[in-house]
Amino acid sequence: MLRMLLLAVILVWPQLVNAQTEQESTEEERGFQWELIVGLSAVYNPTFLSDIELTDIDDFIDISLLVDVSYKDFYIRSNRRRASLYSGEIGYLLHEQSDWAIDLIVKNYVVGFDPQSIERHHSVPIPKYTTLNERLAGNGIGLRYSYFQDEAIFHLDIASLHPSIGQNSWVIDSFYSYLIPYRNWDVYLGAGATYFSASTVDYYVGVSEEETSDILPVYRAGDGIQLELEAFAMYPLSQNWSFNMGLTNTFLSKNISRSPIGIREHFSELKIGVRYVF
């Protein structure tokens, strides 16, 4: 999959370099810019692992500290149109028009987890985790197509995950966000769909022969889909402070949720808090 992405860049690059813009740009060259974002929120965010329950006070508190940086066409940024600031990404702008763009993108597409560590720190023993190996974070590199229209943004990523996840591990990730200004509120309505290759799904929710036990059979899930529906709102309290609240609903395909390791088919994240931008 990575070779296909590199080939796509090689094939598309000459057209991007030679493309004519609709009108001459009069903007100065983009220089170095940065912003520091601090967030404090009360959250209800159950993990996708169905045997894990939220019990400690820190399970309901979220403290985030992020730095958005850009220099010319390179950037490190968080997604401020979404409830969770942790959906950050590293990117390089390959080409940009007035209503669309193509980027080279690096980001985390799948949350990893360590069953052994979870089992040790969980208040109630989880026997099925005893034989499971760690699942590494699904970091990937890919191409992103973005489309902009008035208050709407749509992006589509095709990304190859790190080889440690599997030789044929890749994702197709898409998200649509629409801004509704209402008085002093910015209300974002979003919907996303992500396709995971069979190798990716089997790595995270499958059970290999070496992981089997009396209560954990071999499981091959095949490819899978994740759907998201989100509502997120921000209200400015001052020039730097803002109040925010968001609700994200996630739905997983049945072949993922039927995994014997215990996966929720549907879970919701609720977040209410404040952000400060330096």
Which residue from 9, 104, 81 is spatially nearest to 231, judged by alpha carbons? 81
Check residue 11 and give its pLDDT: 52
pLDDT for 236 equals: 97
Contacts of 160 (CB under 8 A, 6+ apart): 1, 2, 4, 5, 140, 141, 142, 169, 170
Sign (positive or negative) of CA dihedral 227, 112, 43, 278: negative
72 torsion bin: left (phi>0), alpha (psi -120 to 50), beta (else): left
What is the pTM assigned to this prediction?
Answer: 0.87
Tens of pLDDT, residue by residue over 211-235, are 999 999 999 999 999 999 999 999 9
**What tokens appear for 240 in the block?**
């730097």
Write the Ramachandran bin of 218: left for phi over 0, alpha for psi from -120 to 50, otherwise beta: beta
Please give the radius of gyration of the chain, using alpha carbons only, rounded to the nearest integer: 21
Q: Residue 8 has what pLDDT?
A: 54
Predicted local distance difference test score (pLDDT) of residue 20:
42
Predicted local confidence at residue 44, as pLDDT: 95
What pLDDT shows up at residue 119?
A: 76
Give residue 175's identity as a one-letter amino acid code: F
- Write the pLDDT tens digit of every residue in 80-112: 888 875 568 999 999 999 999 999 999 999 999
The residues, any chain, with a CB within 8 Å of residue 14's CB and separated by 6 or more, are none
> Cα-Cα-Cα-Cα dihedral of 134, 135, 139, 143, to 10°?
160
pLDDT given for residue 22 in this prediction: 44
In one-letter notation, the amino acid at residue 212 is T
Answer whether 90's CB lies under 8 Å from 76's CB.
yes
Specify burial of residue 48 (Cβ count, 10 A radius: 0-12, 13-18, 19+). buried
**Distance of alpha carbon 222 from alpha carbon 69, whole angstroms:** 38
b/e per residue, 154-171, with b = 16+ CB within 10 A? bbbbbbbbeeebbeebbb
Q: Give the chain's residues under pLDDT 50.
A: 19-27
